[in-house]
């Protein structure tokens, strides 16, 4: 039996900072988005991923991958956004067996309306605290960690 690999002081500091960011930043962004449009950060991310997709639609499995969500969580949120008129579920144009989420015009209007405030919140709460080289380093570090967790994650195919 091997001894535990305890964290040294710098590793503990990095780990606790990451845990705090993972708690505080999403909560702050949720607060901003809820005040601006009565939706959560996850709701916004679903709309944003669809707004960036060609034709404003994605298969549910691809949308789940792009939002790092389970299909059941995504399905629940898609239903909620569908009830607000922002999304529609449709069969895939090339394969009727595949269900897709389509961003409606009302959904696109919502993301266009909310994006400036959301991006400003991301900048003020997160990016403005970093130097350009910190941003590049953080992207590289984040991609390394994501690769350990899911070596086929969609974000790794973007870089």
Q: What percent of the chain has pLDDT over 90?
A: 89
Contact (CB, 8 A) for 63 and 49: yes
Bridge-based pairing of strands 87-92 and 95-103 is antiparallel
Q: What is the DSSP letter of 112?
A: H
Residue 159's pLDDT band (boundaries 50, 70, 90)? low
Average pLDDT of 46-62?
A: 96
Listed residue (89, 68, 70) closest to 78, CA to CA: 89
pLDDT over 90 at 48, yes or no: yes
Residues sharing a CB contact under 8 Å with residue 125, sequence separation 6 or more, in sequence order: 25, 28, 29
37-126 under CATH 1.10.10.10, yes or no: yes
Least confident of 105-109, 124-128, 136-140, 149-153: 149-153
pLDDT over 90 at 138, yes or no: yes
What would the two tokens of residue 25 be? 């930043």
At 81-105, the pLDDT tens digits run 999 999 999 998 888 899 999 999 9
């Amino acid at each position: 039996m091997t001894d535990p690999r305890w964290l040294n002081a710098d590793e503990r500091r990095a780990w606790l900072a990451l845990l705090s960011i993972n708690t505080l930043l999403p909560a702050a962004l949720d607060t901003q988005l809820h005040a601006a449009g009565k939706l959560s950060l996850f709701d916004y991310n679903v709309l944003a991923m669809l707004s960036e997709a060609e034709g404003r639609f994605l298969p549910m499995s691809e949308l789940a991958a792009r939002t790092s969500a389970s299909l059941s969580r995504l399905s629940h949120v898609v239903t909620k956004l569908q009830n607000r008129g922002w999304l529609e579920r449709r069969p895939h144009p090339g394969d009727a067996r595949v269900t897709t989420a389509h961003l409606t015009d009302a959904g696109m209007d919502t993301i266009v309306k909310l994006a400036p405030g959301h991006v400003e919140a991301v900048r003020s709460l997160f990016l403005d605290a970093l130097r350009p080289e910190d941003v590049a380093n953080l992207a590289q570090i984040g991609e390394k960690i994501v690769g350990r967790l899911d070596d086929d994650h969609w974000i790794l195919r973007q870089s």
